[in-house]
Chain A
Amino acid sequence: MAKVKKTVKGITIVADKCNGCRACELICSAFHATPKYSSSNPARSRIRVVREPLRDIYLPVYAGEYTAAECTGRDKYIIDGKEYAECDFCRASCPSRNLFKEPDSGLPLKCDMCEDDPALEKPKCVEWCLNDALIYEERVEEVEEEDVSPGDVEIGVDSLIDKYGLQQVLDTIARASKR
């Protein structure tokens, strides 16, 4: 396969600087609302602050890939004397938890770095974090040409199939198409 240049967008999460305000969650949900900014709802956010003030745990984590199966093991990390569940760091929208799912439909959510037209200078969560706990950077890398990744609809349909079975989804789509 050919080599191509690819811009890799990344966010450095300086958890030590997080003040736990959840502005990142709020602005993410507002940006992704339809129409844009028409509502806010951290439950729809693609970033969540794992936040346990009394244990001093403040961990912004972004929504990643949808996965149909949960992990077999549930490990723990102890860092600087603080105990974290492995899930605290995990970006997956998975069956073991409610995180990164639309509250109404249960459909998976995934961070898209606030893709917009025209493109934003940086994702909204980064812009709204005045404490610099989230720092945006872009770098150009040479990578193997990749397969076309499935679109949002395909991911959504896959997750519905996982949840309800193929037949029920087909029936529902058939009914919807008649309306």
Chain B
Amino acid sequence: MRFAETGFNLEVDLSRGNIDRVETDPRMTELYLGGLGTNAKILWDRVPPETEPFSEDNLLIFSTGLLCGTAAPGCNRTIVSTFSPQTRLMAYSMMGGFWAPELKHAGYDKVIISGQSPALVYLWIDNDKVEIRDASHLRGKGAIETAECIRSELKDPNVQVAAIGLAGENRVFFASIEQGRSSASRGGVGAVMGDKGLKAIAVRGTKDVNVARPAEFMNLCNDVLKYIKAREENPVPGVMPILAGLGSPQEMKLVDEEWHTTNFMWGNSRTRRKDFWNKEIEEKWRETQENVRTRLISCYNCPMKCGATISVPGIATYMMKCFSKLTYTMAAYSDLDFGFKIAQRATEYGVDGFSAPQVMAFGLELLEAGILTDADVQGMPADNEGRFFWLLDRIVRREGIGDVLADGTYWAARRIGKGAEAFDHNTIKKHEQLPLKLGMLNPVYFLMYATGEKINITQIEGQFPQAPFPTREEREEFVKDWIQVPDEKFKQYLLDWEPRGDHSNPYYPTVEASCDIVDWQEKMHYIDDALGTCAGLSSFPLKPPYHIHNFPDFISAATGFDFDEARLWQAATRTRTLLRAINVRLGLRRADDKPPENHWKKRFPELEAKLLDEYYKLKGWNDQGIPTRESLHELELDYVGEDLQQRGILSDG
């Protein structure tokens, strides 16, 4: 008997219409845990680097995390992995919601999609009964609309549906997979789903998920709940409200947007509006938000309320979380009311809330600069907000200029030429980033931006405060109950970190300390993404309930495998290294490990080179950011080393 996991994957070949239930090797769980880890292993083994993202041979993997479906609070994430059409690297995308636990209860850890269906279909997983069904009646339908249609034709409200909208069907490079209040948005995973001719996966499960040592496991769960309660009653002082508590930044609950609107950039990550926020806007936005927000809601088995049901009068109800409330608003230099309206359409179409608004703002900048002309945008309305709706409609249908923009800013700029490349100024590895431009280089953030395989800062950062506390007393207070640190030295790093002077950015935290901090931060994300734990209860917030000291107990009690901190750290390191190796095999090198050129005004090339050197060293990579044979051997990844050597990517020894 297998514990925590089901021990079975569902293999679906859409070209042949073949469906298999395949038993997995428990040894893989011990090495890679599950979720992202085992996804990466499958992609390495089965998808050669020459594979076109849009082809039969690319795999699209929907995975549960190892602890999904158990009682561990907030373990509900679905990890979607494939090769991205946009970055042409491994797409690293995830979503919360209710889908992963349902899949576990249906008896599967993963659904692995291969091939391409000749006609649009959806997959219906009802415990042991799995069918590929015609979806021609769903063509062109919105992602949420699709889920509702499927639920009503299956006559079961408990069916969980992950679906694409028009953007995915038309292979827009930043198309998302939507699922209730959640979405896997990054890396164009929705486009790959569309390329496979797969409109949706509907799942219903009524089987048990078992744990190995029940009483011990339940005590751990109860402790986490108790901690959450206490932590929510005691927000961290001295940090902005959205970072003081647990969960995703509480964008749905809170209305004070001074920080985002005056620090983040508007337009195509272009303008900072330091004086934007005032009493009048605060009142207006409060009214807007409270009028459309029906209820604060959560994902499966989680007491937080990071999402909300949004009902704007006159348009269909949808669900929202986190920062997409502002991305459209700010890209269009508009108002929150517009943000809530266009986000509804964008959610139905299924596009990434980070990339889509920036791509549209980028298009309008090109028009203003005369690189695009009126002929390119014939029929576009004159008003600002109308233009965004018009562009969104063209992009998801790949009509005219929309077809070009549908490839994202990097590829669109190269297709358009005529100097458009200079307007693609906010991508890393061809992928749009948060609209943020800052002054002084922050060494920790430099490393995360440059090297993160997720290519997305919000899913790499966490745990360590984003800025130093002004006074020593505040720092001392903060470290008092900082039990989450893997080592006491992190407390010292924080104690010594000052806003100004010798111990401030960019030379403090020191190169060594910066590497340590990033290593800890990303390691915790890798653990979450293998276990299916939401970062909002773990790797993202300050002082979270899950950490390196209690995770091994959770895994051991749930699975029956014996994990301690060292072994867990090693497993996370293994997955992190394997992801790097996958991307290296796809062509990633040191030259790609960089933040957007203008992310910081003050740059320090020598320091940055040193940061990269030391980070690579700590990771066991060579100066090109390629894992060495030696470090691969230590991680039981010799098969990776051999392959890299055979391909001439690594030389002998």
B305 with A38: CB separation less than 8 A: no
Chain A contact residues (Cβ within 8 angstroms of B): what range? 20 to 34
Is A7 among interface residues, defined by CB-CB distance under 8 A? no
Among A20, A51, A129, residue most surrounded by chain B Cβ atoms (within 10 Å): A20
What is the CA–CA distance of A42 and B229 in the complex, to the nearest angstrom? 23
Q: A20-B298, A58-B295 are in contact. Are A37 and B303 (CB under 8 A)?
A: no
Query: Which residues of B are found within 8 Å of A37, using beta-carbon distances?
Result: 71, 211, 214-215, 217-218
Contact between A103 and B218 (Cβ–Cβ < 8 Å)?
no
B289-307 vs A, CB cutoff 8 Å, 1 = contact: the mask equals 0000011111111111100
Q: Is B309 an interface residue (CB 8 A)?
A: yes
Main secondary structure of the interface of B (DSSP, over half): loop
Chain B residues in 8 Å Cβ range of A41: 105, 206-209
Contacts known (A19-B297, A58-B295); A40 close to B71, Cβ less than 8 A: yes
Inter-chain contact A19/B71, CB cutoff 8 Å: no
CA–CA, A26 to B73, complex, Å? 10
Interface assignment of A126: CB less than 8 Å from any CB of chain B: no
Interface set of A (CB-CB < 8 Å, partner B):
19-23, 26-27, 30, 33, 35-44, 50-56, 58, 103, 128-131
Interface, chain B (partner A; CB < 8 A): 69-71, 73, 98, 105, 144, 148, 157, 180-181, 205-211, 214-215, 217-218, 225, 228-229, 232, 294-305, 309, 311, 316-319
Instruction: Given contact pairs A38-B210, A41-B207, enumerate 16 new A-B contacts (beta carbons under 8 Å).
Output: A19-B295, A19-B298, A19-B304, A22-B98, A22-B300, A33-B214, A36-B214, A37-B211, A40-B70, A41-B209, A43-B206, A53-B297, A54-B318, A55-B317, A103-B206, A103-B207
CA distance A129 to B229 in the complex (A): 11
Q: Which residues of B contact A21 (CB under 8 A)?
A: 298-303
Distance between Cα atoms of A131 and B303 in the complex (Å): 7
Contact A54 B148 (CB under 8 A): yes
A174 to B8, CA, bound (A): 37
**Max count, chain B CB within 10 A of own CB: residue among A22, A36, A58, A129:** A22
Closest B residue to A52 by beta carbon equals: B157
A21 to B218, CA, bound (A): 18
CA distance A19 to B180 in the complex (A): 14
A39 touches B209 (CB 8 A): yes
Which residues of B lie under 8 Å from residue A44 when comparing CB positions? 208
Complexed CA–CA distance, A51 and B215 (Å) = 30
With the chains together, A107 CA to B373 CA distance in Å? 69
B228 A130 Cβ-Cβ under 8 A: yes
Are B73 and A40 touching (Cβ within 8 A)? no
A54 adjacent to B300 (CB under 8 Å): no
Cβ–Cβ < 8 Å partners of A35 in chain B: 214
